[in-house]
Amino acid sequence: MTDSIKLGLIVVVTGLSGSGKSSALKNLEDNGFLAIDNLPVALLPKLLAIRKESSGDFIKMAVGMDGRDPDLIRDQEETFIQAREMGYELRLLFMEADEPTLVKRFQETRRTHPLATEGGLANAIREEKEKMAPLREVADLIVDTTTLSAPMLREVILKRFVHPEARGNLSVEVLSFGFKKGIPPEADLMLDVRFLPNPFYIDKLRPLDGRDPQVQAYVLSFPETKAFLTKLLDLLIFLLPHYQSAGKSYLTIAVGCTGGQHRSVALAVYLWERLKDVFKGSLVLRHRDIV
């Protein structure tokens, strides 16, 4: 992106029906783009002009266009040039897949191809491929989704159009809980710390909980606790950036003991305090079963 581009980045998502255009738009929307699907090509300059007049803020916009617009092929070159002359950086993403894959996808979803006629599905796919060829020739990026899974497609989109620092922020919750009250359904990573000595059996610690310095000192005093936390922190420090770069939005690290009062709470507090030093996203601490 050059210094002369001041108004925004426009990604036009187009291509063959059934190739994953909606998924590409959703991935961009999840990472800060204003997403508009099925926009007639004639409306793009008007939309950008309104945006230019109403706000000087930099905007990221993802616009879906397809062969249902009768003016797309005829007007796309002039329209895209006009958008660039207005001061927007415009990139064209073309999505496609091979014919057997597209046929299978339409059969599985039972959707009707937008160009389907009496000639059947295969002919509609070939007709659209021929019709959209001029856009494919000028595309900045062509993505063949024939063998791409949803996570793989998301990674392709993020690598090309979303800077790592601008990707959707990962929100992390460190949650303590007690197994006797059930496993939290929101848990992504679940840690069972019932192998550690239990402060419940220490008379002076039983009325307290893991937020108390005395309980924390007791739980953290054991060699197995220290070894466990060292290995766990190494794992989390490795995992969190990878979860974030993969586009994950929420992660709950659930730490469980028997009652959710002592060991799980003390370790959740410890993890939360240590992760604050290395994780720059949203980090929340919650104790589900403290009474």
55 has pLDDT over 80: no
Interval 177-224: pLDDT, tens: 999 999 998 899 999 999 999 999 999 999 999 999 999 999 999 999
Range scoring the smallest mean pLDDT among 36-40, 117-121, 167-171, 268-272: 167-171
pTM of the model: 0.62
Residue 202 lies in a domain: yes
Among 13-17, 42-46, 117-121, 126-130, whose mean pLDDT is lowest? 117-121
- Are 13 and 72 part of one and the same domain? yes
Residue-number span of the structural domain to which 219 is assigned: 171-287
C-beta separation of 261 from 178 below 8 A: yes
- Nearest CA-CA partner of 287 in 181, 207, 198, 200: 181
Same domain, 186 and 89: no
Q: Say yes or no to pLDDT of 247 above 80.
A: no
The pLDDT value recorded for residue 257 is 97
Q: Say if residue 121 is in the same domain as residue 226.
A: no
SS3 content of the chain, % helix, strand, coil (to 5): 45, 20, 35
CATH classification at residue 40: 3.40.50.300
Sheet of 250-257: strand order equals: 189-192, 250-257, 171-178, 282-287
Quote the pLDDT of residue 68. 87
Q: Are residues 241 and 228 in the same domain?
A: yes
Cα distances (Å, whole numbers) of residue 190 to 210, 253, 285: 18, 6, 15
Output the pLDDT for position 167.
54
Q: What is the rounded CA–CA span in Å between residue 65 and residue 12?
A: 7
CA 55 – CA 45 distance, rounded (Å): 15
Q: How far apart are CA 241 and CA 162, in angstroms?
A: 15
Residue 5 clears pLDDT 50, i.e. is over it: no
Shared-domain flag, residues 191 and 251: yes
Pair of tokens at residue 5: 């581009």
Q: Under a CB-based contact definition with an 8 Å cutoff, are residues 83 and 8 in contact?
A: no
The domain boundary, picked from 166, 192, 215, lies at 166
Contact predicate 52/8, CB 8 Å: no
Per the domain annotation, does 105 fall within a domain?
yes
Does 229 share its domain with 275? yes
Question: Is the domain of 137 the same as that of 252?
Answer: no
Q: Is residue 222 part of a domain?
A: yes
161 plus 185 within the same structural domain: no
The residue count of the chain comes to: 291
* Domain end marker among 134, 166, 198: 166
Contact between 34 and 60 under an 8 Å Cβ cutoff? The reply is yes
Per the domain annotation, does 70 fall within a domain? yes
Asked if residue 148 and residue 25 are part of one domain, the reply reads: yes
Domain-embedded: residue 2: no
